């Protein structure tokens, strides 16, 4: 058997652990968005009574594990939520849209990358340039910084 591991940015490590559960506890990681326990209800519970910007929460590996900078932007783009929005000002519909967007973006990226090592054409990541046109609504793509990370969003449809 063979295990192939690609880590272009060299942030990762491969090691052997006795128990994945112990590993997750030891490193204080939050739930994986693609695991069955990560339901809409669980996501609502995570957001409940939290403050701060929604993108900062998505990047907090101790709260939800596995969402990197590009995927946080992608999910917010798809859910039509401004990355700078504060959590307490999100509506129930937006939370549902974001929940679905997180899972769909991760699933699509995994499926796509397994074939080509690139991102699907409709992903925002293809338009990460200040002043580019939004592939969804034709609005203007803007760049800002949220939680110290460079952030791209559509100034027209992400509110």
Contacting Zn ion (CB under 5 A), which of 85, 96, 149, 157? Answer: 157
Q: Is 142 in the site for Zn ion (CB under 5 A)?
A: no
Q: How far is CA 46 from CA 18, 34, 56, 113, 147, in A?
A: 28, 15, 13, 29, 18
CB 141 within 8 A of CB 127: yes
Using the rule CB under 5 A, give the single segment among 60-68, 88-96, 108-116, 149-157 that binds Zn ion. 149-157
Binding residues among 109-138 for Zn ion as defined by CB under 5 A? 134, 136-137
Q: Least Å distance between CB 73 and Zn ion?
A: 13
Residue of 134, 115, 116, 138 whose CA lies nearest to 125: 134
Using the rule CB under 5 A, give the single segment among 1-9, 22-30, 108-116, 148-156 that binds Zn ion. 148-156
Q: Is 154 in the site for Zn ion (CB under 5 A)?
A: yes
Q: How far is CA 45 from CA 38, 61, 62, 100, in A?
A: 10, 16, 15, 15
Q: Number of residues interacting with Zn ion: please give it, by CB under 5 A.
A: 7
Contact residues for Zn ion, defined by CB under 5 A = 134, 136-137, 139, 154, 156-157
């Amino acid at each position: 058997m063979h295990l192939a591991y690609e880590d272009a940015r060299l942030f990762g490590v491969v090691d052997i652990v006795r128990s994945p559960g112990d590993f997750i506890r030891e490193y204080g990681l939050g739930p994986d968005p693609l695991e069955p326990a990560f339901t809409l209800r669980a996501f609502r519970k995570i957001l409940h009574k939290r403050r701060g910007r929604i993108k900062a929460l998505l990047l907090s590996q101790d709260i939800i594990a596995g969402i990197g900078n590009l995927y946080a932007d992608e999910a917010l783009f798809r859910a039509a939520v401004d990355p700078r929005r504060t959590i307490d000002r999100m509506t129930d519909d937006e939370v549902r849209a974001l929940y679905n967007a997180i899972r769909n973006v991760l699933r699509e990226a995994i499926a796509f990358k397994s074939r080509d090592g690139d991102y699907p054409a409709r992903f925002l990541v293809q338009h990460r340039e200040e002043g580019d046109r939004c592939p969804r609504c034709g609005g203007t793509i803007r760049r800002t910084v949220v939680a110290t990370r460079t952030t791209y969003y559509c100034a027209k449809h992400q509110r």
